[in-house]
């Protein structure tokens, strides 16, 4: 089933690239997919939930996914005859539902909820024949190429895509939103995400496209401004954690306090995300001597 709402307007970004607008401007669980057409093949990046129920779908030869997360593969099933492609480090998510669940690392009620959501809401379809790609690989569509830029952190296999000669850089879930970077799954890494943010800042393009909200940013100056604001959320979360630890707290109290989500946000799987995210911050703060463990599982700043 599709979510309520009409897809946003499709937008031609360049001669070979079109943004397929998502419901509510691509707000989760929706997103903005990218259609790339060459003289020989057409390729769709991250088919979103917003494609489900569309009256007319484009002819697609290849589906490529920036990574294996539920919202980015929710429209894959609409193209069963196309070949599906994903970075080798995320390919496990296409092999089986249990492989997909391993990427998240949830257990208990959160795992039960999410396993059902993957099939009922996000149309999970296993594709053991999915083709792996790696950093630097290219798809030649005839007069236009899509080059893989491995950008881990969000997941192990998260990638951006550079589209030439159009000078479009698709950023996937480096989505330039005020929410900031997400590194809350078992296959996420705060350290890798920060290295990726530094690396993608150096990439030059004319158009920068994201899966959620922003859609397209024009020009490097505007891109840098949004990217820097996006990256700064990491430091803000960490500073809030240090302030909270002015008095001792356990990890479970940190989880309940909420640093990624707001306490009022109705996210059924918020606890494991907070635990994974803030555990990585705690590890770094302890290593830097800014936080200490005063007794097993209890932490204080200083």
Q: What is the dihedral of CA 239, 200, 95, 74, to 10 degrees?
A: 80
Tens-digit pLDDT profile for residues 208-230: 999 999 999 999 999 999 999 99
Tens-digit pLDDT profile for residues 154-184: 999 999 999 999 999 999 999 999 999 999 9
Q: Which of 285, 253, 284, 286 is nearest to 271 (CA)?
A: 253
Q: Which domains does the chain have, with CATH numbers?
A: 11-233 (3.60.15.10), 245-301 (no CATH)
pLDDT bucket at 276, cuts 50 / 70 / 90: very high
Tens-digit pLDDT profile for residues 110-159: 999 999 999 999 999 999 999 999 999 999 999 999 999 999 999 999 99
First to last CA, the chain: 51
Taking CA atoms, 77 is separated from 43, 85, 157, 292, in Å, by 15, 13, 21, 48
Q: What is the per-residue pLDDT for 40?
A: 98
Quick one: DSSP state of residue 130? P
Q: What is the per-residue pLDDT for 4?
A: 57
Burial of 170 (0-12, 13-18, 19+ CB in 10 A): buried
CB-CB neighbours of 123 under 10 Å: 19
pLDDT bucket at 8, cuts 50 / 70 / 90: confident
The model carries a pTM of 0.96
- Taken as a whole, the chain contains a residue count of 302
CB-CB neighbours of 129 under 10 Å: 9
Q: What is the per-residue pLDDT for 1?
A: 36
Q: What is the per-residue pLDDT for 277?
A: 98
Give percent above pLDDT 90 in the chain: 93
Tens-digit pLDDT profile for residues 225-262: 999 999 999 999 999 999 999 999 999 999 999 999 99
Cβ density class 255-277: b for 16+ within 10 Å, e for less: beebbbbeeeeeeebbbbbbbbb
Average pLDDT of 63-75? Answer: 98
Burial of 88 (0-12, 13-18, 19+ CB in 10 A): middle
More confident call, 82 vs 266: 82
SS3 content of the chain, % helix, strand, coil (to 5): 35, 20, 45
pLDDT bucket at 76, cuts 50 / 70 / 90: very high
Mean residue pLDDT across the chain:
96
The torsion angles phi and psi of 54, rounded to 5 degrees, stand at -65, 140
Distance between CA 222 and CA 217 in Å, rounded? 7
């Amino acid at each position: 089933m599709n979510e309520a709402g009409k897809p946003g307007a499709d937008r031609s970004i360049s001669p070979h690239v079109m943004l397929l607008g998502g419901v509510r401007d691509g707000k989760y669980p929706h997103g903005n997919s990218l259609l790339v057409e060459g003289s020989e093949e057409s390729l769709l990046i991250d088919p979103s939930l917003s494609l489900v129920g569309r009256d007319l779908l484009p002819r697609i030869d290849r589906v490529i996914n920036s990574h294996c997360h539920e919202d980015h593969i929710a429209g894959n099933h609409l193209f069963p005859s196309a070949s599906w492609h994903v970075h080798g480090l995320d390919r496990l998510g296409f092999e089986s539902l249990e492989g997909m669940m391993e990427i998240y690392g949830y257990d208990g009620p959160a795992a039960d909820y999410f396993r059902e959501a993957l099939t009922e809401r996000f149309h999970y379809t296993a594709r053991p024949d999915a083709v792996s790609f790696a950093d630097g690989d290219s798809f030649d569509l005839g007069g236009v190429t899509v080059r893989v830029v491995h950008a881990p952190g969000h997941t192990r296999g998260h990638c951006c895509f550079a589209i030439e000669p159009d000078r479009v850089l698709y950023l996937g879930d480096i989505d330039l939103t005020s929410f900031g970077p997400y590194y809350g799954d078992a296959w996420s890494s705060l350290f890798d995400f920060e290295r990726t943010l530094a690396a993608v800042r150096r990439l030059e393009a004319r158009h920068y496209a994201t899966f959620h909200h922003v859609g397209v940013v024009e020009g490097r100056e505007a891109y840098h401004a949004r990217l820097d604001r996006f990256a700064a959320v990491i430091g803000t979360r960490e500073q809030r954690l240090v302030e909270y630890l002015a008095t001792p707290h356990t990890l479970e109290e940190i989880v309940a306090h909420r640093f990624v989500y707001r306490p009022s946000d109705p996210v059924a799987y918020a606890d494991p995300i907070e635990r994974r995210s803030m555990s990585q911050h705690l590890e770094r703060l302890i290593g830097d001597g800014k936080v200490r463990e005063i007794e097993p599982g209890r932490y204080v700043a200083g």
